[in-house]
Structure 1
């Protein structure tokens, strides 16, 4: 292993390497040695930047959470345009990219990582909880615009959409669902409150 290689963005390279290992081999194969081997660097490089491996994994998870949070404003801004079903379908397809799905599996499989994440953020399962929060904000905006009924239960709709979509994507070795599969779930969940014809 090279030990004198200069990295421009060590953290970024290590996180990218972790994502590749996670996608290829699953959560159980994600070790510090696997990450540094994948990144083609000495094991000590990771430990120079992170106090422990769970701290590194927490950064991996929080990086994915930040991506969900970054999209939340754009999703909310899309209220009133397109259709509710189309906007929700597009967002769920983006949220549940293969890495995000694998990261959810990683979090559920590592007690130390969950403990570390509880220190860094509010309760809830990262990515899933954040996606539900983003969808709730969007759904509330659509309700204010009258495209959802005034009595639409946003606090139930948002996690229902996330949970149902996650079930479609959770089998990381299977064939990913098509957009039409996600759209069918979305239209079913919002059918009772939508004030526009589904398209």
Structure 2
């Protein structure tokens, strides 16, 4: 299994979108969303890297951090154990695309969302935006310095893996800190990237562009 890459249809990409798949999955799971997004925003460069380790949940799956025996108290430490290589991956992808970090959008699903939100919480640098699908913070933020990066939360109300209450909690915490954040709850969506999420992702990124953030 390899990563996927969509080249911008112009000499200089307007921005780079890096997509991070969920646990036990692989880049193919986000390929349809990336295809749609590239059709809507052809000036974007889109990259879907592969998780750091093979997952025992699926012979063709990978994860960013192991979840066997994970608890509420040790989830953050597992995330932080792989944060340095995750940070390096983001920077390498931006360098390869020749796009500055503040023109990068991180788009995660499930565990990919956890990694993206925690990177956003831990880093001193700014990206253009975060798309957080069906995921959560490993630990809710309390630092008011997060206000510079807009966040789009998308969560299915029928999600049987990641309770949509986590999206509401993330929204409330970020709103309290003054972050530009929006919450999109989809009534009939389970724990997967549904086609109803596609236009929400595209619209968020297009609005970043119209506001001069891309």
Please state which band the TM-score falls in when normalised by the shorter chain: 0.3 to 0.5
More helix by share: 1
Q: Which has the larger radius of gyration?
A: 1
- TM-score with structure 2 setting the length: 0.32
